[in-house]
C-alpha cells in the first residue's frame, strides 16, 4: 500500500468495549431486553402520534 493509507492495528482495552468483560454473562440478556424495550417504546410512540410521522413521500 502507499503511504497515503496508514493502516494500524489497535486494540481498545478501555471501558468502552470491555467494561462488562468480567461479568457472569447476564449482560447479553440485559442488552437484549434493553433493545426490545427501546423498540417497543419507539413503536408505541409512532402509533400514539400518527400525524407527526416523518415521511419522505409526503407531498407539499
The confidence score (pLDDT) of residue 1 equals 54
Threshold 0.75, pTM exceeds: no
| H helix count then E strand count, the chain | 2, 0
Q: How high is the mean pLDDT of the chain? A: 77
The confidence score (pLDDT) of residue 40 equals 97
Considering the chain, what percentage of its residues have pLDDT values greater than 90?
A: 20
Residue 43 pLDDT more than 70? Answer: yes
Residues in Cβ contact with 18 at an 8 Å cutoff, skipping those fewer than 6 apart:
12
pLDDT tens digits along 44-58: 998 888 777 666 555
Q: Which of 10, 33, 12, 9 has the alpha carbon at shortest distance from 21? A: 12
Q: 16: number of CA atoms within 13 Å, CB side? A: 2
Amino acid at each position: 500500500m502507499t503511504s497515503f493509507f496508514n493502516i494500524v492495528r489497535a486494540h481498545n482495552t478501555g471501558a468502552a468495549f470491555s467494561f462488562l468483560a468480567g461479568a457472569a454473562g447476564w449482560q447479553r440478556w440485559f442488552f437484549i431486553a434493553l433493545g426490545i424495550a427501546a423498540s417497543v417504546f419507539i413503536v408505541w410512540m409512532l402509533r400514539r402520534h400518527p400525524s407527526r410521522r416523518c415521511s419522505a413521500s409526503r407531498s407539499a
